[in-house]
Amino acid sequence: MNKILVTGGLGFIGSHTVVELQNEGYEVVIIDDLSNSSEKVLDGITAITGEKPIFEKLDLKDKADVEAFFAKHNDVKGVIHFAASKAVGESVKEPLMYYENNIGSLIYILKELKKLSSAAFIFSSSCTVYGQADELPITENAPVKKAESPYGNTKQIGEEIIQETCKVVPTLKAIALRYFNPVGAHESVEIGELPIGVPQNLVPFITQTAIGLREELSVFGDDYPTPDGTCIRDYIHVVDLAKAHVVALGRLLKGENKTSYETFNLGTGKGSSVLEVVQSFERVSGKKLNYKIVGRREGDIISAYADTNKANNDLGWKTKLSLDDAMRSAWKWEQKVREKE
Ligand code: WQD
């Protein structure tokens, strides 16, 4: 059974990916520093799959700890690297913390993978690298634009570091997965999104407003050049996204990759406006959402949604779940989290 390391495996996308890896028969070891997650997520994963992953609390910025981990787990066949700080606004205020955490940890892991006889590496990247693309839908050939935040820059730099390393380390092959907007929760409601503090992202803010934790949702601007004036994004169900990671890993382990470094956009291919997301939530929950149109949010792009042809054709993967499925599961998860409080 192939052993796979999942860094940040107790996070939102990480935990859903661990479930899909275990469903596929992989042995999973998780590293997480618990800075933006909780060890209780392990129980959620185990409740779904019946198998508790190995977990090691570890700070990937600590070079000696990373070396010790790989000395102990020298049978790791692949790494899916989620661990990173990912709040756009925070990264503007704390650039050094973002570069040290996101780039430092990546370098230490790659240095360990160089020592293995072969290694498959999946990198958690983001459509943020495209900024406001000139053409929609966005293909993988769209130009990577100057990052609008240190967070986005760490994704761009991370991709470059991996690509250049794969060129000179013949035993290393990698895929960067550029996510659009991950939303929703596992149907079991054993795992889901656990934002700490006031949510920055749209969907957790919607569900926290509906459950009464927030007064009302502020819709950041309805004067954009879009059909209803609000921004458009490609909201992809986190379970579809998790499954794409398992497919990408399999591509590398089976040697089906065309080059040593590949990138794939992961989205539904469909854009939805902020108000369409609100309407989807109201439809599936039967609740009227309290929201107010306010001014634009600094740094928001107008519209982004994926061209999914490369992922569909080369990965043989496409999304199966809808925006309504995502909103339904996000709402069920929010209700479960609050009933536990
Ligand atoms: C979506 C839309 C907001 C909150 C970010 C990161 C990106 C990725 C996903 C990590 C926008 C609007 C939001 C609110 C609102 N993260 N909105 N009221 O900004 O597309 O992407 O998260 O990889 O890197 O940039 O997602 O959910 O913050 O916003 O009106 O309270 O919802 O203006 O149009 P975003 P988001």
* Closest ligand 1 atom number to CA of residue 205: 31
List the catalytic residue out of 151, 224, 261, 305: 151
Helix, strand, coil % in the chain, rounded to nearest 5: 40, 20, 40
231 lines ligand 1 (CB under 6 A): yes
The whole-number pLDDT of residue 299 equals: 87
pLDDT along the chain (341 residues), means of 10: 96 98 98 95 98 97 97 96 93 95 98 96 96 96 93 97 98 98 98 93 98 97 98 98 98 97 98 98 98 95 97 97 98 94 79
Tokens of residue 310, six digits: 């490369």
Burial of 310 (0-12, 13-18, 19+ CB in 10 A): middle
Q: How far is the CA of 171 from the centre of ligand 1 (A)?
A: 37
CB distance 235 to 183 below 8 Å: yes
The whole-number pLDDT of residue 88 equals: 87
303 lines ligand 1 (CB under 6 A): no
The whole-number pLDDT of residue 162 equals: 98
